[in-house]
Amino acid sequence: MYSLNCKGKLLSWGKPIVMGILNITPDSFYAGSRIGSEEMLITHAEKMLEEGASILDLGGLSSRPGALEISQDEELERVVPAISLLSSRFPNAIISVDSYRYKVAVAALHTGASIINDIGAGKNEGMAELAAAFQTPYICMHMRGNPGNMQRYTNYDDITAELLDFFINRKEECIRLGIKDLIIDPGFGFAKTIGQNFLLLKQLKVLGMLGLPVMVGLSRKSTIYKTLNIKPEESLNGTTVMHTLALEQGAQILRAHDVKEAVETIRLWTSYASAKDVPG
Q: Annotated active-site positions, please?
A: 221, 255
| Spatial CB neighbours of 30, under 8 Å, sequence gap ≥ 6 | 23, 219, 220, 232, 233, 257
Q: What is the length of the chain?
A: 280
Distance, CA of 99 to CA of 159 (rounded, Å): 25
Return the beta strands (E) in the chain as ranges.
Answer: 2-6, 9-13, 17-23, 55-59, 95-98, 115-118, 138-141, 182-185, 215-216, 253-256
Burial 19-32 (b: 16+ CB within 10 A, else e): bbbbbbbeebbbee
Say if CB 202 and CB 249 are below 8 A apart.
yes
**Bridge partners, 138 (sequence order):** 116, 182
Distance, CA of 201 to CA of 247 (rounded, Å): 10
Say if CB 60 and CB 78 are below 8 A apart.
yes
Torsion, Cα 43 238 146 213, to 10 degrees, reads 80
DSSP 71: P
Side chain identity at residue 66, one-letter code: G
